[in-house]
Amino acid sequence: MFWAARKGAVCAVGFPRKGMVTLKIGSEALAALVRDRLLADYRVASQPIDVRCSDGCVSLVGFVDTPEQKELVVRLVSGLIGVRSVTDGIEVRTISLSRTQATDDTWIRT
């Protein structure tokens, strides 16, 4: 059995049967891993996303600018070792411009 600690949480890798590897990551370590992964990707690093983990289940809440970013966040997190499920509470920001603002740029000040 191999044990490692990261930010106060324990990670254990065991070998229950020949050829099999199991991985159990503590909730705090998994949350830190998810945050690190999101911050490492320039496409979503600046987005305000809250990460909560419990027993391999990751809950994401926050905002992104595009539907593509929302899909990317879920894909990045789902691919991490130790993640069993992802609850997607991410919302895509919508910018509402009046018809005048959309066609007239006089409201922009330099």
In a domain? residue 66: yes
In a domain? residue 104: no
Q: Which residues of 86-109 are buried (b: 16+ CB within 10 A; e: fewer)?
A: beeebeeeeeeeeeeeeeeeeeee
Higher pLDDT, 73 or 95: 73
Reduced to 3 states, what is the DSSP secondary structure of residue 87? strand
Higher pLDDT, 5 or 57: 57
pLDDT of residue 105: 64
In a domain? residue 47: yes
In a domain? residue 16: no
Look at residue 110 and tell me whether its pLDDT is greater than 60.
Answer: no
Structural domains in the chain (count): 1
Residue 7 gets the label, from left (phi > 0), alpha (psi -120 to 50) or beta, of left
The CATH number linked to 61 is 3.30.1340.30
- Among the ranges given (12-21, 49-58, 73-82, 97-106), the one the predictor scored with the smallest mean pLDDT: 12-21
In a domain? residue 106: no
> How many C-beta neighbours within 10 Å does residue 68 have?
12
Compute the average pLDDT of residues 42-48.
93
Which pLDDT tens digit goes with each residue over 6-33?
444 444 444 445 555 556 678 899 999 9
In a domain? residue 34: yes
Compute the average pLDDT of residues 28-52.
94
- Domain hosting 69: range is 26-98
In a domain? residue 21: no
In a domain? residue 110: no
